[in-house]
Amino acid sequence: MAYVSIESDDRMEEGPDGLQFQSFLDSETRAANPGGSAGAGIGNVSRGYIPDRGNHAFWTFEYFQQYFDVDTHTVLRRCYMTMFPPAASSYLSAQLTPAADLYGPFWTLTTLIFALFVCSSLASAIAAWLSNPDAAAIIAYDFGLIFTAVMLVYSYGLALPMLFWFALRYMGVGEWSIIEAIAVWGYGQFVWIPVSVLCIIPVPLVRWILVGIAFALSGYFLVANVYPILATADAKPVRLVIILLVIFHAAIAMSFKILFFSYYAVKEIGIPDPTIANGL
């Protein structure tokens, strides 16, 4: 038996003929994880475990398109959970996961505008009929109310959270994103939609009770989600901003009641409206 002596060389030459590695991942998986390593996270974007936010610029349509990609079940769950006070403090972590959306807040605010206008017009027609049952019942639409509703609802539900977020960023408090701020304010107004429908009831005291319930539920929801953000500030006086937000919230509640649901019959039903009795 013959033996052949082979000299070993500790040096490894790199080049076209050297050692090469080839990926056996399918093209779809590689597209979902460009430049990534082969690990447990590969393909999670395509499977829906991790939201694919991409690298689109802020002013492009693709950047905002990703925040409207949400299913109806998720939107409805995020809406009705705002009316459940025990879950308010954990809404950001439990409901707005894996990411907040803009479709739900936009849908909620737009539906609220429609509900305020339609229900207010119907309440006006009912009050007119109760005042004079012999007259033909005609629903008179005041289209000026719809512009008022647009200004009030969008200013409070969209402009205010954006200004609030920029103010917190200026003060060095940035524990949430602007999308989360808009989502909290937008979803928080959902309770006003059923209340607007119920305020068709031509009983002043019932309307005030309904408005008070909506004010309490939506106000508690906002405070429970906003105050923990303010509490992270180094300067404790920043927490006093929550008082200003409560004042804004009370102002929007009174605006809804006075501007859209102050239609009464000549002969009121039930206990008289305390604001009318006191000359307010």
Highest mean pLDDT among 5-9, 211-215, 240-244: 211-215
What angle (nearest 5°) sits at the alpha carbon of residue 114, between those of residues 254 and 273? 30
Give the per-residue pLDDT at 134.
63
Secondary-structure breakdown of the chain: helix, strand, coil percentages, each rounded to the nearest 5: 60, 0, 40
Which amino acid is it at 116?
Answer: L
CB 219 within 8 A of CB 246: yes
Across the range 50-58, mean pLDDT stands at 49
The answer to whether residue 30 scores a pLDDT higher than 70 is no
CA–CA dist 119, 121 (Å, integer): 5
Across the range 81-110, mean pLDDT stands at 90
Domain ranges, residue 195: 81-277
- Evaluate whether residue 92 is within a structural domain: yes
Helix (H) / strand (E) containing 134:
none
CA–CA dist 154, 186 (Å, integer): 9
- Evaluate whether residue 157 is within a structural domain: yes
CA–CA dist 39, 49 (Å, integer): 15
Show the tokens assigned to 67.
């925040």
The answer to whether residue 247 scores a pLDDT higher than 90 is yes
- Evaluate whether residue 58 is within a structural domain: no
pLDDT tens-digit profile of 164-193?
999 888 888 877 888 999 999 999 999 999
Higher pLDDT, 59 or 90: 90
pTM of the model: 0.72
CA–CA dist 2, 68 (Å, integer): 75
Helix (H) / strand (E) containing 204:
helix 204-231
- Evaluate whether residue 70 is within a structural domain: no
Show the tokens assigned to 230.
């303010």
- Evaluate whether residue 218 is within a structural domain: yes
Rounded alpha-carbon distances, angstroms, from residue 31 to 21, 56, 57, 65, 99: 18, 16, 20, 20, 22
- Evaluate whether residue 12 is within a structural domain: no
Whose CA is closest to 154, among 252, 27, 30, 257? 252
Whose CA is closest to 81, among 67, 65, 92? 92
Q: Count the domains in the chain.
A: 1
- Evaluate whether residue 35 is within a structural domain: no
- The residue to which tokens 């505008």 are assigned: 113
Give the per-residue pLDDT at 136.
56
- Evaluate whether residue 13 is within a structural domain: no
Rounded alpha-carbon distances, angstroms, from residue 94 to 47, 73, 99: 21, 15, 10
Rounded alpha-carbon distances, angstroms, from residue 64 to 31, 114, 139, 161, 186: 22, 24, 39, 17, 16
